[in-house]
Chain A
Amino acid sequence: MSDWVEACAAGDIDEEDVMRFDHGGRTFAIYRSPDDDYFATDGLCTHEKVHLADGLVMDDIIECPKHNGRFNYKTGAARGAPVCVNLATYPVKVEAGKVLIQIG
């Protein structure tokens, strides 16, 4: 358990953007922040299970593409109606140009 899994190449995601990553029957969202750090959260919004990777990243906020629920993707904290349940986050590291996430 607690394996590091390769999600994508660092260059696959633009700065201030997000990408979907599916692994082991689960779906995740991988983020690259405007200051060039990488983050990972569960892939589905806690409101209606919509893929967050279709949403918009602005600074450290990901906004759900469907109903504009907002989360801080660095902490997973819910940041506005209609979402009230926080998003799970996962450790991320970049090694040799690859983005790795630790799936618990």
Chain B
Amino acid sequence: MQAGMVIIGAGECGGRAALTLRELAYDGPVTLVGDEPHLPYERPPLSKDAMVSDAPEIKAIASDAMLAERAIRHIHSVQAVAIDRTAHTVRLTDGSVLLYNKLLLATGSTPRRLPMPGLGSRCVYLRTFADALAIRQHLSAGNRVAIIGGGFIGLELAASARKLWAVVIVIEAQPRILMRGVPAEIAEIVHQAHEAEGVKILTGQGIISIADDGTEVCIALADGQEIVADLAVIGIGAVPVTGLAVEAGLTIDNGIAVDATLRTGDPDIFAAGDCCSFPLAVYAGRRVRLEAWRNAQEQGALAARNMLGAGEAHAAVPWFWSDQYGLSLQIAGLSDEGKSMVRRDLSDGAFILFHLAEDGRLVAASGIGPGNAVARDIRLAEMLIAKRVKPAPEALGSQDVKLKSLLAA
């Protein structure tokens, strides 16, 4: 058996890494191992377009033909069970053993489980295409859907469910929706949009108990209310998939700990995407773990370059988007690094909040508006954040000053 590049996890990150290895003309064996039966596919549509479609389909990152053409071996429906770091092998659930020169762990994340008894077949999570199909069959006119957790997955799903005329209620334990990483002013716009579309949102509501008899879910809330639903979807965050790395003795620190080049403590093992924590150069090396599509894509490509010896440090600014109804929200940077905010109003009610650190440095920008109204300015903000500039707050706040001109300064 010839040793080559082995990638565990065939999602956006792993798929992108495999393609990048070939783009860089690596000509040894490339093996991509995934536990789902599908080709590598994009997950963001699962809570959005795919959920609304009558016959949801996967949006593949690469077709069978593309993989074959590039001699990328895709082993599906199996998991990696153990890494032997001395022998440089990975053992899979089907008993086979792969020999690696460099190994990439792109194992992703998995929905955080609600630690509560009583959950049954009508209490579900959304991560995979199979999860999406299972949820989709319950989204129909008049069907009652309870969404536990007012984060992005839950809210995007609420919007999709409303498009199919389901009766939707969102239950959030925190005092408002989108507590993590989204400014209150923007969360409020999202909240209003959901209410205008007929979604009921309960905030500050703890759950006392859940009873699920396989046909109906009954959720008892702290204030005595009882919510009865045909389906409960739990969206309370995600946890990194680290089992394999733990077993292999790699360091875990809110995910598989890697350095700026995405390398673990073992020089032949890399980790990228949702499963890893890494130092973010633009915030003085602050260690973060990102659950975001673009990060998965960028780190998959970066890991591939570094598996081939590039030694390149991750330098990207975090970026995230969400679509709900006609609204699009985009965030660049980490807003919790900010101490003050400057608002810039755009056309059609769209606006951007710029987050400034104590020393005036631009550290994040959060925008919301119809369609792609904020996209261009958020992209420019991202470049400004990467350049670590300290723009004049008046310039950021004025529509008359083009952000592009600040970039040139």
Where the two chains meet, the residues of A that have a C-beta atom closer than 8 Å to any C-beta of B are 16, 50-51, 54-56, 63, 65-68, 81-82
Query: Can you report 26 A-B residue pairs in the complex whose CB atoms are below 8 A from each other?
Result: A16-B404, A51-B371, A51-B372, A54-B371, A54-B372, A54-B373, A54-B375, A54-B376, A55-B372, A55-B375, A55-B376, A55-B379, A56-B375, A56-B376, A56-B379, A56-B380, A65-B372, A65-B375, A65-B379, A67-B294, A68-B319, A68-B379, A81-B19, A81-B297, A82-B42, A82-B61
Q: Is the interface of A mostly helix, strand, loop or mixed?
A: loop
Interface size on B, residues (CB 8 A): 18
Question: Contacts A56-B380, A66-B321, A68-B294 known; A81 to B375 CB distance under 8 Å?
Answer: no
The reply to whether A65 and B376 contact each other, CB–CB distance below 8 Å, is yes
Q: Which residues of A contact B16 (CB under 8 A)?
A: 81
Q: Which residues of B contact A54 (CB under 8 A)?
A: 371-373, 375-376
Q: Is B99 an interface residue (CB 8 A)?
A: no
CB distance from B323 to the nearest CB of A (A): 9
Residue of B at shortest CB range from A63?
Answer: B379
Where the two chains meet, the residues of B that have a C-beta atom closer than 8 Å to any C-beta of A are 16, 19, 42, 61, 293-294, 297, 301, 319, 321, 371-373, 375-376, 379-380, 404
Q: Which residues of A contact B319 (CB under 8 A)?
A: 68
Q: Which residues of B contact A16 (CB under 8 A)?
A: 404
Residue of A at shortest CB range from B15?
Answer: A81
Residue of A at shortest CB range from B23?
Answer: A81
The reply to whether A66 and B294 contact each other, CB–CB distance below 8 Å, is no
CA distance A16 to B61 in the complex (A): 31
Please give 18 more A-B residue pairs, beta carbons under 8 A apart, in addition to A16-B404, A67-B294, A82-B42.
A50-B372, A51-B371, A54-B371, A54-B372, A54-B376, A56-B375, A56-B376, A56-B379, A63-B379, A65-B372, A65-B376, A65-B379, A66-B321, A66-B375, A81-B297, A81-B301, A82-B61, A82-B297
